[in-house]
């Protein structure tokens, strides 16, 4: 049984705090960077499109005390190649490691050869087992007898616990007091002693250090140790054994503390042909490596976003930064919406649901393809799906945001005249596109404010329908998915304007997506208003049929497609006493189930005007 990640808690991280969101999703920066050996090997491409000389970071040789002389280079730093090739991880993993599987559906949509490195299929559903086991295998008899301690509330904790059980080493895992029971019970099930201590991760980390000092326990770090890096890097060894490196264009790796990226870099850059790129992927709100490389010194972020909690690290390890700065080709940043779309992509090809950090490399690969106009170019890419310890309660948010991250869904604020027929006129412009959300509340007699979401005909993830345009112009130029989306949305906005409606694109407005969509309208005193819940089969044209049948003035309207087989509408309808009989006949003619909610206390408290205000 896996241990899901939980919003507000961190796995494999230290010193993290809740994020402050700017309210707007970052914009994509178009770039043209060819996949070729012409790119300078002594430089790194940053997310903003700038190329910098590789910064140099001083080695902390205190981290190498455990290494024997034959595993050190002439400069005293680790010789990772033999460490990777002699790693002990295959005592706990199958001899072939984790599979490298083709992503058939995603490959077809992108016009590329996409392969998933399935680290979510380890016994603890994460790559973290590799590093923990490899380091613990190196412990002396006395260190094994004394035991080990680690501080983690996620994947690293499970990796240490399972490694301890297999190696017969007593393990203590320190977790914050607010760790969900499903997490600490799972670690306990694996045989480790769980110590719940402190209100947050910083306090738990201090207790971990105290226990290590008091009882002579060995601390097993999540990333900043040569043996941990070498263990995690065995995923890269397997990748080059499982695919033809001469035909491989790039490997995409998620970045948190940097151990996985450093380990994969150490092997791939020593063995693979020089054209094979290794690209690190971070989120916009946890871009520790990108900022560190740009500053030329190891940075500590003031705050990090916790959606991708497995990579939400304020400061990377000293050794992992040193290796990454020496070898990484490029860093890409992605948004949470792009992460949600990538989770959906992995699910559609594997029927497995990765955690947000687990899908980070897939989101980065997709962004790289779009930025560099590689749709339909048949490039071969590997994305490391690093983990699948996801909290089930997160799936609702992921499903909600995946279509926006994919660029398939658009959200608009539309101002229309407050008059009969205006709703239908608005829907006519959107039709036949599928409407996913329609929210309105009466506010004035002159105009109505609508929050509207719908699927676009264009998609941000599909290859060109025909050949790439030639420089001579002998074939019709193919629009990129972003261009096709902008063109379609621009046409819709123009039609709305010509129809006397004012529209604003809210697709990138974080406040609208997270909050305002649920707060549209509020209280309003509407004369002769009656409120009803309607249900109808969720099929194409059903919403339009409802609007076409409407013969009365609408004062409140809420519809959201939740993916079910039944569509649900909450509608306020103005019914003057003189029209009551005609209205009742109209209700019966609809042939849709309905419930009147005019006397519902929730309607009176939140949507009707407060009588005490009058």
Give me the DSSP letters along 498-562. Answer: HTT-EEEE-TTBHHHHHTGGGTSS--B--TTEEEEEEEEE--TTHHHHHHHH--S-EEEEEEE--
Residues 107 and 179 in one domain: no
Domain termination site, one of 167, 189, 216? 216
pTM score: 0.77
User: pLDDT tens across 174-217, in order?
Assistant: 988 867 676 788 888 999 999 998 876 768 888 999 999 999 99
Give the model's pLDDT for residue 28: 42
Are both 393 and 446 inside the same structural domain?
no
Low-confidence ranges of the chain (pLDDT < 70): 1-40, 178, 180, 182, 200, 202, 458-480, 515-523, 538, 562-565, 606, 609-614
Ranges of beta strands (E only) in 207-304 are 218-219, 250-254, 277-283
CATH number of the structural domain spanning residue 394: 3.40.50.1100
385 and 397 part of one domain: yes
Q: Would residue 505 count as lying in a domain?
A: yes
Predicted local distance difference test score (pLDDT) of residue 174 = 92
Tokens 């601390």 belong to 219
Are both 344 and 485 inside the same structural domain? no
Nearest-10 crossing angle of helices 422-430, 481-498? 150
- Domain shared by 444 and 302, yes or no: no
In a domain, 38, yes or no: no
In a domain, 8, yes or no: no
Of the residues 380, 401, 422, which one is the last residue of a structural domain? Answer: 401
260 and 198: one domain? no
Is 5 a residue of the active site? Answer: no
Number of domains, the chain = 3
Residues 393 and 410 in one domain: no
Which domain CATH number covers 530?
3.40.1020.10
* Catalytic hit among 386, 460, 461, 507: 386
Catalytic residue selected from 25, 117, 126, 128: 128
Same domain flag for 299 and 435 = no
Give the domain-ending residue among 354, 384, 401: 401
CA distances from 225 to 65, 299, 325, 395 (A): 10, 19, 16, 34
Can 128 be counted among the known catalytic residues? Answer: yes
In a domain, 15, yes or no: no
Q: Sheet containing 594-596: give its strands across.
A: 502-505, 409-417, 447-455, 435-441, 554-560, 566-574, 529-537, 594-596
Domain presence at residue 12: no
- Decide if 304 contacts 17 (C-beta within 8 A): yes
Instruction: Tell me, yes or no, whether 367 and 419 share the same domain.
Output: no
Please report whether residue 17 resides in a domain. no
- The answer as to whether 605 is a domain residue is yes
Q: Does 389 share its domain with 531?
A: no
Note whether 166 and 191 are within 8 A (CB).
no
Q: Do both 319 and 340 map to the same domain?
A: yes
Q: Which domain holds residue 338?
A: 59-112+227-401
Residue 77 placed within a domain: yes
Q: Note whether 279 and 206 are same-domain residues.
A: no
Give pLDDT, residue 97: 95
């Amino acid at each position: 049984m896996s241990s899901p990640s939980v919003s507000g808690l961190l796995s494999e991280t230290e010193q993290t705090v809740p994020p402050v969101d700017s309210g707007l999703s970052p914009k994509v920066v178009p770039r043209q960077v060819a996949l070729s050996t012409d790119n300078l090997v002594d430089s790194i491409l940053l997310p903003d499109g700038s190329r910098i000389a590789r910064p140099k970071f001083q080695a902390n040789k205190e981290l190498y005390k455990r290494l024997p002389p034959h595993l050190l280079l002439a400069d005293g730093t680790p010789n990772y190649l033999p460490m990777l090739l002699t790693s002990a991880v295959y005592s706990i993993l199958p001899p072939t490691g984790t599979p490298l599987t083709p992503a058939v559906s995603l490959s077809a949509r992108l016009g590329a050869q996409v392969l998933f490195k399935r680290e979510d299929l380890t016994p603890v559903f994460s790559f973290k087992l590799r590093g923990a086991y490899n380091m613990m295998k190196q412990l002396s008899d006395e260190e094994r007898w004394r035991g080990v301690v680690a501080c983690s509330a996620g994947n690293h904790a499970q990796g240490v616990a399972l490694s301890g059980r297999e190696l017969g080493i007593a393990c203590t895992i320190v977790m914050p007091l607010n760790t969900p029971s499903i997490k600490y019970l799972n670690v306990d099930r694996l045989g480790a002693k769980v110590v719940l201590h402190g209100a947050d991760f910083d306090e738990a980390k201090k207790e971990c250090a105290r226990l290590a000092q008091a009882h002579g326990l060995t601390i097993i770090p999540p990333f900043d140790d040569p043996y941990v890096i070498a263990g995690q890097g065995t995923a890269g060894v397997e990748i080059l054994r499982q695919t033809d490196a001469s035909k491989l264009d790039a490997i995409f790796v998620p970045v948190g503390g940097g151990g996985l990226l450093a380990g994969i870099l150490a092997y791939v850059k020593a063995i693979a042909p020089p054209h094979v790129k290794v690209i690190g992927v971070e989120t916009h709100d946890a871009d520790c490596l990108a900022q560190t490389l740009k500053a030329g010194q190891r940075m500590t972020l003031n705050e990090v976003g916790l959606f991708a909690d497995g990579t939400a690290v304020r400061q990377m390890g000293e050794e992992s930064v040193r290796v990454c700065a020496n070898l990484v080709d490029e860093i890409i940043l992605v948004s949470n919406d792009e992460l949600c779309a990538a989770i959906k992509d992995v699910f559609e090809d594997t029927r497995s649901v990765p955690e947000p950090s687990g899908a980070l490399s897939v989101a980065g690969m997709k962004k790289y393809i779009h930025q560099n106009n590689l749709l339909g170019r048949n490039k071969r890419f590997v994305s490391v799906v690093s983990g699948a310890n996801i909290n089930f309660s997160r799936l609702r948010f992921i499903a909600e945001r995946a279509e926006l991250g994919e660029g398939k869904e658009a959200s608009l604020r539309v101002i229309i005249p407050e008059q009969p027929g205006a709703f239908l006129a608005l829907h006519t412009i959107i039709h036949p596109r599928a409407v996913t959300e329609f929210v309105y509340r009466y506010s004035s007699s002159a105009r109505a404010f609508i929050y509207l979401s719908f699927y676009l005909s264009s998609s941000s993830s599909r290859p060109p329908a025909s050949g790439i345009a030639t420089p001579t112009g002998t074939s019709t130029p193919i629009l990129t998915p972003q261009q096709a989306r902008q063109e379609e949305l621009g046409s819709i906005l123009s039609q709305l304007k010509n129809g006397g409606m004012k529209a604003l694109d809210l697709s990138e407005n974080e406040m609208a997506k997270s909050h305002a969509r649920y707060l549209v309208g509020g209280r309003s005193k509407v004369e002769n208003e009656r409120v009803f819940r309607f249900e109808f089969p969720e099929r194409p044209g059903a919403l339009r049929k409802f609007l076409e049948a409407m013969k009365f003035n609408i004062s409140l309207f809420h519809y959201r497609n939740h993916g079910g087989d039944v569509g649900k509408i909450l509608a306020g309808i103005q019914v003057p006493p003189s029209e009551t009989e005609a209205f009742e006949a109209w209700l019966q003619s609809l042939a849709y189930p309905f419930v009147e909610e005019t006397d519902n206390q929730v309607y009176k408290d939140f949507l009707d005007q407060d009588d005490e205000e009058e």
